Chains A and B, each alone.
Chain A
Amino acid sequence: MKITRRNFLKVCGGTAAACGLSNLGIPNVVQALEKALAGNPPVIWLQGSGCTGCSVSLLNSVEPDIAAVLLKIISLKFHSTVMAAQGELAMDKMYKVAEDYAGKFYLVVEGSIPTRERGRFCMVGERQGREITMLDATIEIGKKAAATLAFGTCASFGGIPAAKPNPTGAKPVTAIFKENGIKTPVVNVPGCPPHPDWMVGTIAYALTKGLPPVDEYKRPSLFFGSTIHDNCPYRKYYEEGKFAGSYGEEGCRLKLGCKGPETYADCWQRQWNNKVNWCVRNAICIGCVQPNFWDEMAPLYEQTTG
């Protein structure tokens, strides 16, 4: 599917704004994206121990809309939830793309990677009679990728499957790569699920400028640079010592369990679902972009911070 320059400007305008690229000047971004687009960068999207929630969130991308992302910006060669193919036809495709575009394609990983029982807690498919675990696929495809984008808290930090007592030995992408001597660079885009802008923005940045600057947890600083609490619209209540004791009460949500002070994300500004709402307005932040948040921030509905 080809894209006209005019449409393209529209698509990129949205993307650029979404990820803060606009300060570079649109013409440069467009030029760079066009260049990257000449080959429509191939993407293999692998799902491990996850829930598909990251993919479902990606579908909510508004600017650019998801049809533009899927059909015009990237070439989605393998994604179990959307691809027409199934079975061996799908698995053959994945391995062939990894071979044909070795060192050129992007690998997206959604979900963590169970390592106990030789990885047999998550099997992604079968090829030539061989059962392929998520662990096998992450290693075999991961070492050939130009870069790996770990989408969601499971792929980034282990997420819920890795929460205590981590029954399946679930690990994030970085751990699997390190244990297997894989040098492919990894960018973590956590969130349970991540905001679509964080995913699309990271893809756009990678296609135009290379991998984005990241923090100590390999998260793009563009989206995960400061805490919810420091920017929260209800911060003034905190300063005044006014705390909500029930949902819907005026006040800072800290005593309802809000994890805003320890959570680095821009939800306060970006908001969710086309800016309809965000977690803190009617409830609390549970800290879903932080490493090990399921254990470290529990109990979620008790004050544990601030």
Chain B
Amino acid sequence: MGKKIVIDPVTRIEGHLKIEVEVKDGKVIDAHSTGALFRGFEIILKDRDPRDASQITQRICGVCPTSHASASVRTLDSAFKVKPPKNGRVLRNIILGSDYAWDHVLHFYHLAALDYVKGPGTEPFVPRYDGDYRLDEKTNQVAVNQYLEALKIKALGHELTAMWGGKGPIVQGMVVGGATAIPTREEISGYKERAGKVIDFIANTYLPTVYLIGGAYKDLFNVGAGCKNFLSYGVFPLDDKENAFLLKRGVYTNGKDYPLDVKKIKEFVSHSWYDDRTSGKNPAEGETIPLPGKKGAYSYIKAARYKGIPHEVGPLARMWITNPVLSKQANRFLGLDEARDVRMRDLGEKAFSIMGRHVARAEECYLVAKALGQWLDELTPGESGVIMKPVPKSGQGFGLSEAPRGSVGHWIKIDNSKIAKYQVIAPTTWNASPRDDKGQRGPIEEALIGTPVPDPENPFNVVRVIRSFDP
């Protein structure tokens, strides 16, 4: 038996999470992840007007409501049998893409960075762990200043979301059949002006700082590998038929690439506080029957699996599957000729790590921010982006999207024009899941195994692994 370390609550995340690790000879040998909140969205959604789902499900996560809106309106599109017109598709891309621009910045600076950068000596920056802060005083001060600057960028980025989303957080501008706004030239130029400042910060501050921290904590490219299986639903359709996505759809399992087969997604509950009869179902058939205190269970999060195997979702998964050319910062960091194209997979095994996730997130942020400009040019000012359709008497469907923190899928069944069944698999259902019916650990649990913990009183690396997933 090793020494047990309980971290409850894990702060600087969205929601309520507890992590318990067992440490032996300075390394983590076992880990348990506990989702500590149940609200019952799927139960509340039942018998309501299907269109209300795109409002209700946004309240699952106030950091990524737009992503749930996106998954939900796509679900309704499929059940209502409607395809948004071009402006609707492009506006949805822009509204969601705007969230990527500020959310990745928020995650790095305000949620993750305090595990590497020593904040000022006042609350909320103290108390904190003692020890492994490696930046020299001057660099550390620069990073603290960036923390404050990033707060402004976050608010500015949310202005981008609101331009056609209506407001942020929680948007009104995405509905079944498309997006509600009719963009004007004035709005487009207002968006451009704001986006310029946000993109400048991402390219010239956020991205280089991630590599700078990566340089100071090089060993963390070898910590937190996890299950090394990745899943991406694909996001930001580039044409109306959805033949291509900016961030691709696909699965990477045991070192091989596969196309996504939605039927292979199942949720298991033997270690979750839900009725065992609901285990092993595809969400189209899924149910939510909570049983707090169930014997042998330790989490309100179900264990989402693909082909019965744990898969990581999020920026690393998307970037690994998409494998785009990275910024020139990557060339500089790797000491490679700038004329050469460096792709995500050129990082090799180093990508499967704490720092690999931060690099993937920052590079993805830059990639999406650049695309925002192209999408603006695709908008037709003065043209509607929505097709209004009545609620069907019956129907079913699902909608897949990607939140900044990972894959989000919704499934619906409609009877008598009401919601008969609604199921959600959020990103954290993949990443922070507990063991499944076969006893396989979830991705965060798996990533914690082997993590060096030189000082159990200040288990820096444990929280670094957890936060690298942006749970």
Contacts and interface: CB of A to CB of B under 8 A. Distances in A.
A61 B156 CA distance: 11
Contacts of B123: 75-77, 83
A279 B55 CA distance: 12
Contacts of A85: 11, 126-128
A276 B161 CA distance: 10
Given A85-B127, A121-B37, A298-B48, 17 more contacts: A50-B62, A54-B62, A56-B63, A56-B169, A59-B106, A60-B154, A65-B151, A66-B151, A66-B155, A67-B148, A81-B11, A82-B110, A84-B12, A160-B44, A248-B180, A272-B162, A276-B190
A53 B166 contact: no
Contacts, number: 248
Contacts of B172: 279, 282-284, 286
A104 interface: no
Interface string B109-137: 01100100001101111111100000000
Nearest to A1: B122
Interface string B1-39: 000001111111111101000000000000000001111
B155 A283 contact: no
Interface of B: 6-16, 18, 36-41, 43-44, 48-49, 51-52, 55-56, 59-63, 65, 106, 110-111, 114, 119-120, 122-129, 148, 151-152, 154-155, 158-159, 161-170, 172-173, 175, 180-182, 190, 290, 292-293, 300, 384, 386, 388, 463
A160 B59 contact: yes
A81 B62 CA distance: 12
Nearest to B52: A300
Nearest to B291: A117
Given A75-B122, A80-B9, A298-B52, A272 B167 contact: yes
Contact of A282 (B60, B61, B180): B180
A90 B168 contact: no
Contacts of B162: 272-273, 276-277
B36 A301 contact: no
A5 interface: no
A277 B38 CA distance: 33
B3 to A, nearest CB: 14
A65 B149 CA distance: 11
A85 B127 CA distance: 6
A252 B379 CA distance: 26
Interface in A269-306: 272-274, 276-279, 281-284, 286, 294, 298-302
The 8 tightest CB contacts between A and B, nearest first, are: A53-B62, A167-B40, A299-B49, A272-B167, A51-B62, A247-B180, A273-B162, A283-B172
A51 B18 contact: no
B122 A117 contact: no
A117 B44 contact: no
25 contacts: A47-B16, A52-B63, A53-B61, A57-B62, A60-B155, A61-B155, A65-B151, A65-B155, A67-B152, A71-B120, A77-B123, A80-B11, A82-B124, A123-B8, A123-B16, A161-B40, A163-B56, A168-B40, A272-B168, A276-B162, A277-B165, A278-B166, A282-B164, A282-B173, A283-B173
Given A53-B170, A80-B11, A83-B123, A273 B158 contact: yes
A124 B9 contact: yes
A76 B14 CA distance: 18
A49 B152 CA distance: 28
Contacts of B62: 50-57, 193
A120 B59 contact: no
A53 B122 CA distance: 25
A122 interface: yes
Interface residues of A, number: 80
A46 B426 CA distance: 23
B127 A84 contact: yes
Given A193-B170, A278-B166, A79 B124 contact: yes
Contacts of A163: 44, 56
Contact of A246 (B158, B164, B386): B386
Interface string A193-217: 1000000000000000000000000
A123 B190 CA distance: 43
Contacts of A222: none
Nearest to B163: A276
A74 to B, nearest CB: 10
B87 to A, nearest CB: 10
Nearest to B166: A279
Nearest to B8: A126
A123 B34 CA distance: 10
User: Which of B8, B63, B123, B384 has the most chain A CB atoms inside 10 A of its CB?
Assistant: B123
B40 A246 contact: no
Given A86-B7, A165-B44, A122 B124 contact: no
Nearest to B37: A122
A3 interface: no
B59 A248 contact: no
Contacts of A66: 151, 155
B159 A276 contact: yes
Contacts of A41: none
A273 B167 contact: yes
B41 to A, nearest CB: 8
Contact of B39 (A53, A160, A246): A160
B4 to A, nearest CB: 11
A167 B43 contact: yes
User: Which of A86, A93, A246, A284 has the most chain B CB atoms inside 10 A of its CB?
Assistant: A86
B155 A62 contact: yes
A157 B38 CA distance: 18
Contacts of A89: 127-129
A125 interface: yes
A117 B175 contact: no
Contacts of A87: 6-10
Contacts of A78: 124
B18 A123 contact: yes
A241 B463 CA distance: 59
A70 B293 CA distance: 38
A121 B152 CA distance: 35
Contact of A281 (B9, B36, B61, B166): B166
A84 B44 CA distance: 34
A205 B250 CA distance: 52
Contacts of A279: 166-167, 172
A192 interface: yes
Nearest to A288: B170
Given A60-B158, A76-B124, A121 B39 contact: yes
Contacts of A62: 155
Contacts of A282: 164, 166, 172-173, 180-182
A35 to B, nearest CB: 20
Contacts of A193: 62, 169-170
Nearest to A80: B11
